[in-house]
Structure 1
Amino acid sequence: MFFHVAGVTVNPIVIVLWMLFVGFVFSTIGAAGGILAGVGHITIFGMKKANVIKPMNQILTLVSPIISTPLYLREKRLVVPAAVVLGLGGIVGALIGSYLSHTYLPDMKSYQPLFGLITFVIAGRMWYELTPGFRDRQQKVKKATKAFEAKVKELKAAGKLNEIKEIGVNFSEMGMSNTFTFGGETFRYNALSPFLAGMFVAIISAALGVGGGFLLVPYLSSMLGFPMFIVAGTSTMSILVSSLTSIGNYLRMGSHLDYAMIGFELIGILIGSYLGPTLSKYIKGIYLKGFLAVVLTYIGIGYVFGAIIQHATGIKII
């Protein structure tokens, strides 16, 4: 089937199957959705229009935030003021990043090596997550998360809604200095920090057409010290805002979306996102993450050095 805007002929079954894989991976390990979507557009589907690829990547990264943000909000596992400030910074960053990328990275020759570089960064994060120390910390986080979710269900069943509010996110101070409690612990942050972080992350994610969660999650957990219970919801809400801004600006500057291709892609993403939580219990996360680390490393090498090698030898790597 020929997709006019994308400028490629691709079997729709291939599109659905690749995006099913993307949705499965993203819903299982919570990372690399935008990168794998970009790999599909560039290598699997053979698209050559960089300023079409970028907003199409970001549209696919919106599926998870749209579904999950209301759920996190309902469970009071979302630091709304921090997400809003991240989003405000994200709006500024998305406008800057999309403008710079649309203007100075208009073709695959300039865009693909930088996309490969960010792929390297994410691959490095994957390798780090395979280390024993990180895995031990994640096991503790998972146990704590399950305990928190079990407590919420218990209180709901008992009709003790007020107690749910007490263990969720509750602010006592808002403004430039912010103070809130979660699970009986107190957390503080200055609003300027998430604004600048949101702007910085959005510049990178908008320029390359990715979601930005791979940068926001470490920032919220390591630099602001938020517990992982509330990091995911806070980051997804800000990604939703910045990605919508970036997509809108690309369209305003003349980029186009291939809606027919997006339709097939969303089918695959939704199926994969459903299968991920269902099948992940049968597949060890460490194996999937290791496989993904190898794939992303190979892709990063191909995208960053492919043009140089092709120019010197005439051999195309990716």
Structure 2
Amino acid sequence: MKKLLFSIMLLSIVLVFISTRAGFCSTQATVSATDYKAGDVVTIEGAIDPGQNLYIAISSQETFAPKDTKGVHEVKNLKKDGEKNGFTNDTAIPALYYMLTSNPEKFGEVTDKKFGGPSFFTQKGKRGLYKTTMFKLAKFDALDAEAKAALTTIKTKAEWDFFRYAHESGYGIETIVKEKTQVGKVTINARSILGDYNKTQNYWDKGTSIQLDKKTGKFTASFKTFRHTAPNTGFDVYVNKVKAGSYNVKSNGFWLSLGGRYMNPLWVIIGAILVGTYFSMIGAAGGLLMSAFQVMVVQTAGPIGINAANVLRPSNIALTLFSPLGSFYRYAVKEKRVAWPVGISFGVGIFIGSIWLGQYVTKYLSISTYKEWLAILVVIMGIRTLYELTPKVMAKRKNIKAMTQKFNDAVAKAKASGTSVEMGRIEAVKNGLTDYRFKFWGEEFTINPLLFGILGVFIGIVSRSFGIGGGFMLVPAMTTLGALPMYVAVPISLIGTCFSSIGSFIGYLINGYLPDMVLMISIIIGGFIGGMLGSRAQKMFSEKTLKIVLAVTMFFLFFRFFKIEIWI
């Protein structure tokens, strides 16, 4: 009898030990609901063994591997980055994954993060204009057995390396995770390992609460779901390796299927109207400003596996194409102030650069380096534009000075009579491939169409790279190199951006990149309306005012290209 009791006791001890080590039976947890809207708070409650740390793995049921992408550029980039970062084409990880834990230090550490500024200054992150903190994920070999087991759906070194890449690399975040943890408007990393915000005060932990009583093992944990989680995304929840349940994230607003964001199209239309109005007045930076609107307001992300830029750029082109079309009737037909030989020459050069040469140049030239050279160029153009307003330069350019005076007289006359200003018209004096002369407000101007056609090739390459029209280079080139007034330069620029937009859009289609249709249609509507408004509004401003606004735009782009943008 004693032997039997001893055997039963021994067996009981062994079973308790096994169940404790295996992590089941003793762990009990429930998820507060089975369905949530994107952005809702998910709560998990239950109990674990007393004295244990809490590890709640929340893993999307959808996984992603580099082989799943259909993007031409993504295939190449993920293969190259995989060789550097330790994952393969077949390595699959959950598209969204969060670890809520009472012990974040098991998975990495809080480190300083320097960012902002041109590459020659930052030296690959060693320096930066700004400083913050981030949670740096540890290498797989540095994780202990407890941490590795708690990950549950991330099991191998390759999977962990891919997970680190997807959450800490800018390209990985923009292509795979789509969720950004930002300081200002600058992306630092993506949420991954989360602790209790009340204890850590880390900005990436905001919205996360973890309450654990180690004496009893009872816990309550909650976190805010990603506001732009795709509709009908399923998640599995594991508490200390034990599956506690599942939940589904439902739609929370109008979902842009390729844009990868919830956004009311009306806001996109309003934004496009504002940008389109500005663009058709100045003839520059429409694509770049629309791009900024998409990044900061719409937050266009693209579907999993496609980099955000390859959805944003094709959508963006809708503005640089349709805003000029909205202004075309007034500029070209009613007011007749389009210098067609220059506009067509520009357009042909831009078309060649955007649809043909652009694909080869951007293949071998780093976009980040590309942007920084452009930053230097645009700030020089901005300074030069302001310099042209000085009395010394205006004295040399007597035709512009005389034209400006005539415009001011016309404005004064219109105000006195209560009518609108009648703009001057372009009257051709001489047509030639290298020598085109015309009169505007009775003053003669000369320009070389062939020279500007060659310049258009370079601008077309830039246009293809950024998904913009290139007006930010066209207008300053015409006012500085061509010595043309803004009232003539802007309509020519809009013709050029139409050509570049068509060429760039064809290039994206050839590579298989499509815009989000709802996003694009909204931009088309807003851009066209903005084009009509801007062409009417331009004559309300003097030559000097338009040039000052153009120069300010150049300086804005300088800061953007050099990543001096936390103030945005």
Superposed pair shares fold, TM > 0.5: yes
Identify the residue that residue 276 of structure 2 maps to in structure 1: 23
If each structure's helix is expressed as a fraction of its own residues, which one has the higher value?
A: 1
2:349, 2:457 within 8 Å by CA — same for their partners in 1? yes
Identify the residue that residue 222 of structure 1 maps to in structure 2: 480
For residues 174 and 128 of structure 1, the distance between their equivalents in structure 2, rounded to whole angstroms, comes to: 28
Residue by residue, what CA displacement relative to the aligned partner does 1:188-232 show, whole Å, maximum 9, x if unpaired? 343420111111111112211122112111222221223333222
2:261, 2:300 within 8 Å by CA — same for their partners in 1? yes
For residues 286 and 231 of structure 1, the distance between their equivalents in structure 2, rounded to whole angstroms, comes to: 11
For residues 27 and 237 of structure 1, the distance between their equivalents in structure 2, rounded to whole angstroms, comes to: 11
1:50, 1:111 within 8 Å by CA — same for their partners in 2? no
For residues 471 and 325 of structure 2, the distance between their equivalents in structure 1, rounded to whole angstroms, comes to: 14
Given the alignment, which residue of 303, 326, 348 partners 1:88? 348
Q: What displacement does 1:142 show?
A: 5.8
1:116, 1:302 within 8 Å by CA — same for their partners in 2? no
Range 68-77 or range 115-124, more displaced: 115-124
Identify the residue that residue 50 of structure 1 maps to in structure 2: 309
CA distance change for structure 1 residues 25 and 233 in 2, over 3 Å: closer, same or farther? Answer: closer
SS at match of 1:85: helix
Q: TM-score, normalised by structure 1?
A: 0.69
If each structure's strand is expressed as a fraction of its own residues, which one has the higher value?
A: 2
Q: What displacement does 1:258 show?
A: 1.1
Tell me whether 1:3 sits opposite 2:256 in the alignment: yes
For residues 316 and 390 of structure 2, the distance between their equivalents in structure 1, rounded to whole angstroms, comes to: 29
CA distance change for structure 1 residues 12 and 146 in 2, over 3 Å: closer, same or farther? Answer: same
Q: TM-score, normalised by structure 2?
A: 0.42
Q: Which amino acid aligns with 1:70?
A: Y
Given the alignment, which residue of 181, 192, 199 partners 2:450? 192
Range 118-127 or range 37-46, more displaced: 118-127
Identify the residue that residue 73 of structure 1 maps to in structure 2: 332
Q: What displacement does 1:20 show?
A: 4.3
Q: Which amino acid aligns with 2:427?
A: V
Residue by residue, what CA displacement relative to the aligned partner does 1:11-35 show, whole Å, maximum 9, x if unpaired? 4354345434433543565542211
Higher relative contact order (CA 8 A, sep 6+): 1
Identify the residue that residue 35 of structure 1 maps to in structure 2: 288
Tell me whether 1:208 sits opposite 2:466 in the alignment: yes
CA distance change for structure 1 residues 128 and 117 in 2, over 3 Å: closer, same or farther? Answer: same
Tell me whether 1:238 sits opposite 2:516 in the alignment: no
CA distance change for structure 1 residues 20 and 198 in 2, over 3 Å: closer, same or farther? Answer: same
Residue by residue, what CA displacement relative to the aligned partner does 1:53-73 show, whole Å, maximum 9, x if unpaired? 222222212233112233222
Identify the residue that residue 310 of structure 1 maps to in structure 2: none
Q: Which amino acid aligns with 1:85?
A: S
Structure 1 runs not aligned, ≥5 long = 158-163, 307-315
Residue by residue, what CA displacement relative to the aligned partner does 1:50-92 show, whole Å, maximum 9, x if unpaired? 2222222222122331122332223331111111111111111
For residues 384 and 361 of structure 2, the distance between their equivalents in structure 1, rounded to whole angstroms, comes to: 29
1:22, 1:272 within 8 Å by CA — same for their partners in 2? yes
Identify the residue that residue 309 of structure 1 maps to in structure 2: none
1:78, 1:169 within 8 Å by CA — same for their partners in 2? no
- Aligned CA RMSD, in angstroms, stands at 4.5
Given the alignment, which residue of 506, 521, 537 partners 1:248? 506
For residues 530 and 552 of structure 2, the distance between their equivalents in structure 1, rounded to whole angstroms, comes to: 17
Range 24-33 or range 244-253, more displaced: 24-33
Whose Rg is larger?
A: 2
For residues 556 and 449 of structure 2, the distance between their equivalents in structure 1, rounded to whole angstroms, comes to: 38
Structure 2 runs not aligned, ≥5 long = 1-253, 302-306, 395-399
Q: Which amino acid aligns with 2:258?
A: V
Q: Which amino acid aligns with 2:456?
A: G
Identify the residue that residue 160 of structure 1 maps to in structure 2: none
Q: Which amino acid aligns with 1:54?
A: R
Range 40-49 or range 213-222, more displaced: 40-49
2:300, 2:312 within 8 Å by CA — same for their partners in 1? no
2:291, 2:316 within 8 Å by CA — same for their partners in 1? yes
CA distance change for structure 1 residues 19 and 112 in 2, over 3 Å: closer, same or farther? Answer: farther
For residues 478 and 389 of structure 2, the distance between their equivalents in structure 1, rounded to whole angstroms, comes to: 16
